[in-house]
Amino acid sequence: MRYTEKLSARIAAVRSHLCVGLDPRPDLLREPMKDFLLRVIAESSPHAACFKPNVAYFEAMGSKGIELLEEVFAAIPREIPVLLDAKRSDIGETQKYYAKAFFETWNVDAVTLNPFLGYDSVEPFLGYEGRGLYLLAVTSNPGAADIEKQRLENGRRVFELVGDMARRAEGSAADVGFVVGLTNADPDILPALPDAPLLVPGLGAQGGDINSLRGSGRKAPVLVNVSRGVLFPPEGESTADAAARWQATVESALAD
């Protein structure tokens, strides 16, 4: 089964495009980290199309954090895709080891990659059947304007070159999509990218406007990520209720 097939099946099963980001912040926790993460997974699973652990939050805890990340992987129900937010980028030989770590050692379904070292930095991931890659195209931070949205002499923008990489990868064993942040999703950005899977961060704490996805007409599966809004809901709202609320928000926008 290809990655997009597994993801599409999950989206259809729970009628949700919500990606729950697992970004644990010790300074905000009132319970042990492991208990917190396992509870979030259990309570939000009925509403989640995908879980997206951000490796940085776990790496910051050293070897104990990596052990915890592996426990998180084990706790996520097998029918729910796991997208590791790693944003790795390096020369090809090193990327082979990143690919091995993510797809063989940790057996995640998909990973985010920084493509700006060029196509050969993406190639080591393309041979893994049933896996997905999300290339950074237009990210949700203000710095997206520094490089990603800059215009070239021929009038094209830098992020469109990332779209060319996905076209070049057509026919590969892995499926290639894009990261497009809501906070920078101008109306002319999605039409300039191939109809490929999207990971859309920026909703919730970052203040992105979900309405920018309305009427996009894209057929490839879309994941809209919410991290803090699910992990740290307002006082009096449970994790399950927060996940259900964000699910409803996302589905309302994508239904148009």
Residues assigned a catalytic role: 87
Q: Are 233 and 241 in contact (CB under 8 A)?
A: yes
Angle at which helix 239-254 crosses helix 33-44, to 10 degrees, equals 40
Q: What separation in angstroms does the CA of 220 have from each of 52, 53, 152?
A: 19, 22, 28
Residue pointed to by tokens 């091995």: 100
Name the region of 207 (left: φ>0; alpha: ψ -120 to 50; beta: rest). Answer: left
Q: For residue 54, what are the contacts with CB-CB under 8 A and spacing of at least 6?
A: 21, 22, 23, 85, 227
